[in-house]
Amino acid sequence: MEVAVFTLGAVIVLSGGLGVLLARNPVHAALFLVQTLFGVAVLFVLLEATFLAAVQVMVYAGAIVILFLFVIMLLGVDRADDLGIEPIAGQRPMAAVVGVSLAGLLATVLLVAVDGLTGARGGTPLGDAGDNTRRLGEALFTDMVFAVELTAILLTVAVVGAVALARRLSGPMQPLPVVAIAESDDQPTEADDEPAGATGEDS
Amino acid sequence: MVVTTGWYLALGAALFSMGAVGLLVRRNPLVMFMCVELMLNAVNLTFVSLGAELGDLGGQLSVFFVLVVAAAEVVVGLAVIVAIMRRRSGATVDDLSVLGG
């Protein structure tokens, strides 16, 4: 039974990964990514990390992929990626060689390493599966409370940065237009007096 | 036959390499970000399986922080992509050489 579930999860994960790799349309790639994330959630359940499986589905499949789809929708999907042309000669075969070598190297290192695990265990035993959520919560909000607060700061900074980056610039604060700087070195003072929208709408 | 930790580790290695190849081959910045997500998920799988092998909760705790960093990275990265695409529509990563000097 366990072998069957693992095989199913592995097939879901690997086929989804191949789909992301090969899909021409970014929307299809995002949907294949959802498939991979669900497969990983299945494996998490099999490893008795039940809370992480739920978080995986909600945060990754529910939030991050939706974010991807929103951006795809915002930018338009009319242009499918042309996989036929190769901009750098020999890029694909070399990437395949690198990928196969990396897979072999990682698998070898991990499999050799897991054969005789040494070193001290951490202070938080795993417990049984039904206890998983409570133990995670206790560990996060006692031993790791400082790290949790730091991640909160990180998320806040990320949100503020994203808003600042993606804001459609209008009004008194004008952006520094990269192209305009390159083209108009000889008239640096006039840019300040231009009305809103004169430089920010050149997309 | 029983599923050992090695199976999960091999699967994680395969998934990580897939993401790495995708990052090298694809030119659409959005798909490249998805390949980064694949690599992060492979690492998460490795964390959880090794945590189960050791009987330690630390693996699962690490996954939480990976998850948060991944979310922050996606938010900022997609904002950068939106800002770039607004200026020059249809750009692939090969076209974005403004900082190349």
Give residue-wise pLDDT tens across range A63-90: 899 999 998 888 876 566 666 666 677 7
Residues of A in contact with B86 (CB under 8 A): 168, 203
- Judge whether B41 and A37 are in contact, CB under 8 Å: yes
Using a CB–CB cutoff of 8 Å, tell me whether B22 touches chain A. Answer: yes
Band (A116; pLDDT cuts 50, 70, 90): confident
Give residue A188's pLDDT. Answer: 46
**pLDDT score for A129:** 67
* Band of pLDDT at residue B97, cut at 50, 70 and 90: confident
Q: What is the ipTM of this complex?
A: 0.91
Yes or no, beta carbons of A37 and B53 under 8 Å apart = no
- Is pLDDT larger for residue B40 or for residue B94? B40
Report how far apart the first and last C-alpha atoms of chain A are (Å, whole number). 56
Is the pLDDT reported for residue A199 higher than 50? no
Cα–Cα distance measured from residue B87 to residue B101, given in angstroms and rounded to the nearest whole number: 19
**Predicted TM-score of the model (pTM):** 0.82
Q: What would be the CATH architecture of the domain defined by A2-78+129-187? A: Up-down Bundle (1.20)
Give the up-direction half-sphere exposure of residue A166: CA atoms within 13 A in the CB hemisphere: 17
**b/e per residue A63-74 (b: at least 16 CB within 10 A):** ebbebbbebbee
Dihedrals phi, psi of A46, to nearest 5 degrees: -65, -30
Domain edges within chain A: 2-78+129-187
Q: What is chain B's mean pLDDT, rounded?
A: 87
* CB interface of A with B, residues 109-168, below 8 Å: 110-111, 114, 117, 121-122, 124-127, 132, 135-136, 139-140, 144, 147, 151, 154-155, 157-159, 161-163, 165-166, 168
User: How much is the pLDDT for A195?
Assistant: 47
Residues B51, A70: Cα–Cα separation, whole Å:
35
Domains in chain B (CATH in brackets) are: 28-91 (1.10.287.3510)
Out of B3, B22, B90, the one facing A2 most closely (by C-beta) is B3
Report whether B82 contacts A162 (CB < 8 A).
no
